[in-house]
Amino acid sequence: MLRHIFRVKTTVTLFHSITLRRAYHSEKGVFGYRPRPKRQFKVSDEILQSRNAQSNVYRWVEAYRKHGHKFANVNPISIKGPQSPLDELNPAFYGLEGKENVKPQGLLNAPELETTTTTVDELELLLKQIYCGNAVSAEFAYIEITNAFVTDSSSSFQNLKFLTDFSDTLYICDCLLMNFQDLEEREWLSKHFEQLKTQTVSNDTRKQIAELLIKSQAWDNFMAIKFPTVKRYGGEGAETLLAFFWQLLRDSVQVDLTHLVVAMSHRGRTALQTIMLNMRPAKVFRKLRGESEFPKDCQAMSDVISHFHTSEDLNVDGKAIHFTMVRNPSHLEAGNPVSMGKTRSKQQTVKDGSFNDDDPTMEFSSKVLNVILHGDAAFAGQGVNQECLNTAYVPHYEIGGSLHVLINNQVGFTTPGERGRSTDYASDLAKTIQAPVFHVNGDNPEMLIQVTKLAFAYQRQFRKDVFIDLNCFRRWGHNELDDPTFTNPLIRTIYLEYLNAELAVASEYEPEPSYFQKQWQHITSASSDCVTYWDTGLDYGLLNYIGQQSVTYPDSFNIHPHLQKIHIETRRNKLNAGEKIDWSTAEALAIGSLMYQGYNIRLSGEDVGRGTFSHRHAMLIDQQNNEMYIPLNDLKGGLGGKLEIANSILSEEAVLGFEYGMAIDNPDTLIIWEAQFGDFANGAQIIIDNFIISGETKWMDSNALVMLLPHGYDGAASEHSSCRIERFLQLCDSKECESDGDHVNVNIVNPTTPAQYYHVLRRQLLRNFRKPLVVVAPKILLRLPAATSTHVDFHGGTNFQNVLPDVTVQPNDVQRIILCSGKHYYALADERKAQQINNTAIIRLESLCPFPLLELQQQLAKYKNAKAFVWSQEEHRNMGAWNFVKPRFENLVGKPLLYCGRVEAPTSATGVGKIHKQEVEEVVCRPFQL
């Protein structure tokens, strides 16, 4: 690191220049994003003078703020010996002597010392009490220098001087290289943390917290006795967690929050739900006796008690607040991005933050707050947490900061903490976004209350993430098969009588429906035994208007000249002619028409505004001022739906989980996630498996999330050729020996025309039920001249067709039928034309799940003379749709099906160009030879 380079007088101009930041394609903001207001902050001249006059004392105080936490004893079961002394905490390191007098004003936030003089020894004792105590410690010194206070040369110098080594040379190289953060935050945190010791807890609060803790112990002990062989994931050792929620609820209603969205894993979950969130204990007991948590007429497969959901209107101190605890799978931390997405969806619904056009000053989390509870080993070990934190302040993913709590058991399953991570603290990942961390002794509920108030106040002040590291332990170990004994004070006795009464009625208790309520009340289950059709067409005059608007921009907007010619003018000409309508135009028509009907659309993923293949251009960028413009958001007429373009971070798991959270919250917003390439979906397999595919089956949580997965063997080798169709088909519940209906758990389509894509997108919201949709999306079809549609394909009365017929052959001449799906059709059609083959029909399966049995039978019935039936695919035999289609075709259609495609392989595509070319010739030519 370079040192002693810049003299004080030469730094000011440079500092002004390096604080300029590139805006996110907009200084004005677009739908769903508004630049954060610049904060003004200045340390008072009086404080600066004190710090400069006592610079060595101030450096010593700062050392405690930075290193004091290392010596704090906040672990209720700590067995480590005394720490080695640290030179930076020794006053002699700064040339200070014990009896020397100092004036703490401006150096330390101790009200009792504001106007007095004290000795170094007395100040040291106070610093140890604050930063090295046995109840709480803090980390926030890594929140670095801000650019908010750089207003003029004098203030720049004054604010910087006390942060340096106070020598003739200003050490600013670190400053130049760092990400500039708020000095205001550090000043605020030091002030409020140092004043914690002056806060008190009322006797009434103590009584209420004591009652909660007693109930928590009683609940866990009751469960241990009545259900001794069940893994309960109780809160023993972390009972003080209820004190956190008690304080959080009160702080929330005091600032008029309307919603809390919470992600929480297993530990202590049912205790919280039954004690504080109005869940009937009978529901838990009924489940543990082998019954479903849903009503008898519900077809859900259900889940374990540690995944139970809560959506409850609470009354706290006479005020209403809605508490939502999202579903969680056993895959730890996977529910976190879901809660973040659900939070943003609710913020959109209640017009929070940037969704509020009437109040441009409103910040996110003014009405809806996200709270995430982590396990210590899981927070440190699961990469989804890094991804989630990386989205915290990204436009279109920001939710105004989350409040985090680490339930620090100090062990992961049976792995000690020091073997479960490479960092000192389980919470160290928080430092990646410079979020403050408060370490609290889990056996001190009063201090947890105070820290909860402090963390909440920080989040409200700065709308940023903040962490509480609750140091506790697992009293009974992981398996919870011990037989604990317990005493019976009055509160516990009364509560146990209540639990026994609930246990007695558990067998007769009938759960109430918890689905298709509130914003979902106009949605129902897809119970049809057949596949229904929905009119998704519209008058082409309206569609032409929408399409023209999708490439219209203000006169003052500086469009890229290539985009003007290739994209804008070309689209306008195609729309006016009503012919050769391509993929991106059809998408714009689908999205714009849904917006016209009042639905909101969110398009998320890496580079989705432009499109991975530079085909979409749903957002335009002014070439001179970098401003973003989304043409469809200026659509005149209609019911006012909006389009949010969310260019995401380079993440799949967290981003897809975020989008799923939005999709399960609002059935009238179309959430579309596009993978940059289809194989990128494997980075989000946890979200796909545990939420999207199985969420309705387990929890009755419907969603209409769309996944666009570009797929196609174009010589791109293994990673970017296949979206692994076979994996999604394996995850669906389509029957091999029965016809499918709307009730299948997921729709999987491989469309071949733009109109088909248009219809399937519109169908997602126009049906009275919601299903996730996997679109095996194209690459070369985006611009293939043969893969276009005409205006008649979009007219009213048209819909998505599960099977596309062959209209180019005479049925009586056909002796061979080739079945295929997706872009492979065009290669087969070209080969048939080139070879002048007249006896072969090519039928496209546009829908794979539900399997289109009826439509397929109707098409096959035309070809009375067909003898051979071939499934042709470009994927390898152990991949693609072959193993899905074969048993259904043979069992339900009753005819043998031959295979033609690549041979079995362990990777999806070859990386050798010559071999790829040979394989292409084989899979295209051979189907006509069988």
**Residue 191 predicted with pLDDT over 50:** yes
Max Cα distance, the chain (Å): 109
Residues 6+ apart with CB under 8 A from 884: 726, 729, 730, 734, 848, 849, 851
End-to-end CA distance of the chain: 71
pLDDT for 543-580, tens place per residue?
Answer: 999 999 999 999 999 999 999 999 999 999 999 999 99
Whether 283 contacts 293, CB under 8 Å: yes
Q: How far apart are CA 597 and CA 450, in angstroms?
A: 49
Model confidence pLDDT, tens digit, residues 837-877: 999 999 999 999 999 999 999 999 999 999 999 999 999 99
The pLDDT of residue 756 is: 98
Residue 483's pLDDT is 36
Q: From edge to edge, which strands make up the β-sheet containing 136-139?
A: 136-139, 437-441, 466-471, 402-408, 368-375, 259-263, 319-325, 310-316
**Structural domains present in the chain:** 45-146+179-191 (no CATH), 203-477+485-508 (3.40.50.970), 540-786 (3.40.50.12470), 805-928 (3.40.50.11610)
Contacts of 325 by beta carbon, 8 Å cutoff, 6+ apart: 262, 263, 264, 269, 273, 277, 309, 310, 311
pLDDT tier for residue 37 given thresholds of 50, 70 and 90: confident
What is the share, in percent, of the chain residues with pLDDT greater than 90? 76
Range name among 212-221, 241-250, 872-881 with the lowest pLDDT average: 212-221
- For the cut 70, the answer to whether the pLDDT of residue 156 exceeds it is no
Mean pLDDT of 607-617: 95
pLDDT for res 9: 33
The answer, yes or no, to whether residue 435 has pLDDT greater than 50, is yes
pLDDT given at position 325: 96
Residue 632 has pLDDT above 90, yes or no: yes
| Residue carrying structure tokens 């004091």 | 68
DSSP assignment string, 299-364 = ------GGG--EEEEEEETTEEEEEEE----SSTTTHHHHHHHHHHHHHHHTT-GGG-SS-TTPPT
Average pLDDT over residues 315-321: 97
Per-residue pLDDT at 76: 84
Mean pLDDT score, 904-914: 94
Question: What does the mean pLDDT of the chain come to?
Answer: 89
Confidence of residue 231 (pLDDT cuts 50, 70, 90): confident
Band of residue 413 on the pLDDT scale cut at 50, 70, 90: low
Give the tens place of pLDDT for each residue, 41-83.
Answer: 899 999 999 999 999 999 999 999 999 999 998 988 765 666 7
| pLDDT for 11 | 34
**In the prediction, which pLDDT does 23 show?**
55
Residue 358 CB neighbours (<10 A)? 6
Q: CA triplet 894, 897, 899: central angle to 5 degrees?
A: 165
Report whether pLDDT(86) > 70.
yes
pLDDT digits over 129-144, tens only? Answer: 999 988 999 999 999 7
Q: What is the pTM of this model?
A: 0.92
User: Quick check: 504 pLDDT over 90?
Assistant: yes
Q: Are strands 803-804 and 840-845 parallel, antiparallel or unpaired?
A: antiparallel
**Local confidence band at 542 (pLDDT 50, 70, 90 cut-offs):** very high
- Residue 198's pLDDT is what? 86
pLDDT at 487: 34
Match 């509130």 to its residue by tokens: 518
Asked whether the predicted pLDDT for residue 34 surpasses 90, the reply is yes
What was the pLDDT predicted at 591? 98
Percentage of the chain lying above the pLDDT 70 cut? 90
Instruction: Provide the residue type at 265 as one letter.
Output: S
**Strand ranges (DSSP E) for 570-667?**
600-605, 620-621, 628-629, 643-647
CA distance 383 to 278: 33
Residue 679 has pLDDT above 70, yes or no: yes
Span 340-348, average pLDDT: 98
* Residue 832 confidence class, pLDDT cut points 50, 70, 90: very high
Q: How far apart are CA 663 and CA 672, in angstroms?
A: 9
**CB of 507 closer than 8 Å to CB of 289:** yes
- Kindly indicate the confidence band of residue 411, based on its pLDDT and cuts at 50, 70 and 90: low
Q: From CA 799, how far away is CA 535, in angstroms rounded?
A: 5
| CA gap 308, 302 in Å, rounded | 9
**CA distance linking residue 163 with residue 156, whole number of Å:** 11
Cα dihedral angle (547, 553, 559, 564), rounded to 10 degrees?
Answer: 30
Query: In the structure, how many helices (H) and strands (E) does the chain have?
Result: 29, 26
Residues 6+ apart with CB under 8 A from 876: 901, 902, 903, 904, 905, 908
User: How many of the other CB atoms lie within 10 Å of CB of 402?
Assistant: 25
Q: Average pLDDT in the 690-709 region? A: 96
3-state DSSP of 790-817: CHHHCCCCCCCCCEECCCCCCHHHCCEE
Of 364, 318, 326, 366, residue with least CA distance to 342: 326
